[in-house]
Amino acid sequence: MNTIIDTNFNFPGQKDLYKGKVREVYTLEDDRLLMVATDRLSAFDVVMPKGIPFKGQILNQIATKMMRDTEDIVPNWLIATPDPNVAIGHRCDPFKVEMVIRGYMSGHAAREYKAGKRLLCGVEMPEGMRENDAFPAPIITPATKAEMGDHDEDISREDILAKGIVSESDYRVLEQYTKKLFERGTQIAKERGLILVDTKYEFGKTADGTIVLIDEIHTPDSSRYFYADGYQERQQKGEPQKQLSKEFVRQWLIEHGFQGLEGQSVPVMSDAYIQSVSERYIELYENITGEAFAKADVENIEARIENNVLAYLNQ
């Protein structure tokens, strides 16, 4: 199955190219960015050697839908999506923090809790919680943005302000937007029979100083979902929750001796496993959006993207 792992386009008016973990960002004239969602898979801040068929399309289309579904409460960077793997929007100066918000004690929070920690990013986690229990109220646990290959690091609100990473007035806006988006995301998930467990949001400032939502939103790469049906019963029995996120990839990697730590090698993913991951991502798409997934033409993904983008730019 064809995948798109790397791009090197030369679009009209192109000024710069930045390659992130899974996205490639082209700076165009007129303060616009063109973002290509590749099929690269990142886990524990390490990019896996093989791509996942349709992953980029899935992430881009979920993010686009969720941007449209939240633009009435928080402004965002998006202008258009001329191709299933491409989004074009306003160029922003990104804040160097990810706004992570958690409604439930899962994933990284659960691992820290099991290690005996009760303070996460300066926020207290109550005693007596079990993995996947709901917090009394959602907690914001920011992380510093890492360059490709580096680990994002937990950071407290106090440290963000003390180090001048974000001004206090801007940070208050980020907190307010994060809570509003999580509330809307929780509502959308509930309508799909899902629980939005935790997620991250990224923000930037446009040329006129407006704070906007950027990057992806409510995708399985940036968020964790549970199936609502049976959640309570599973908690009472101490059983694992049915998840919709890429946590299943992380768990597979942990079982195969990899957590992104020094000296560890990425285990080999067979073609059959890669195909199963692709199928899980399609399942995630259909459950999160409530729509059937339409596979884009992947015979020549680069040519398709180039043709669609040029047609849009030449309008």
CATH code, domain carrying 76: 3.30.200.20
153 within a domain of the structure (yes/no): no
189 within a domain of the structure (yes/no): no
Number of domains in the chain: 1
**Would you say residue 71 has pLDDT above 50?**
yes
Residues 267-296 have pLDDT tens digits of: 989 999 999 989 988 988 999 999 999 999
34 within a domain of the structure (yes/no): yes
267 within a domain of the structure (yes/no): yes
305 within a domain of the structure (yes/no): yes
18 within a domain of the structure (yes/no): yes
**Would you say residue 79 has pLDDT above 90?**
yes
pLDDT at 249: 87
25 within a domain of the structure (yes/no): yes
pLDDT at 250: 85
Residues 210-243 have pLDDT tens digits of: 999 998 899 988 899 999 999 999 999 999 998 8
Residues 165-209 have pLDDT tens digits of: 999 999 999 999 999 999 999 999 999 999 999 999 999 999 899
Band the pLDDT of 146: cuts 50, 70, 90.
Answer: low
Residues 9-29 have pLDDT tens digits of: 999 999 999 998 899 999 999
CA neighbor of 48 nearest in space, from 200, 246, 220: 246
The range of the structural domain enclosing residue 257 comes to 14-93+249-313
116 within a domain of the structure (yes/no): no
User: 């009472």: which residue's tokens?
Assistant: 236
CB hemisphere CA count around 248 (13 angstroms): 18
For residue 229, count other CB atoms closer than 10 A to its CB: 12
**Would you say residue 64 has pLDDT above 70?**
yes
Residues 81-106 have pLDDT tens digits of: 999 999 999 999 999 999 999 999 99
Single-letter residue type at 127: E
Q: Are the C-beta atoms of residues 220 and 243 closer than 8 Å to each other?
A: no
pLDDT at 149: 46
- The pTM of this model reads 0.89
pLDDT at 302: 96
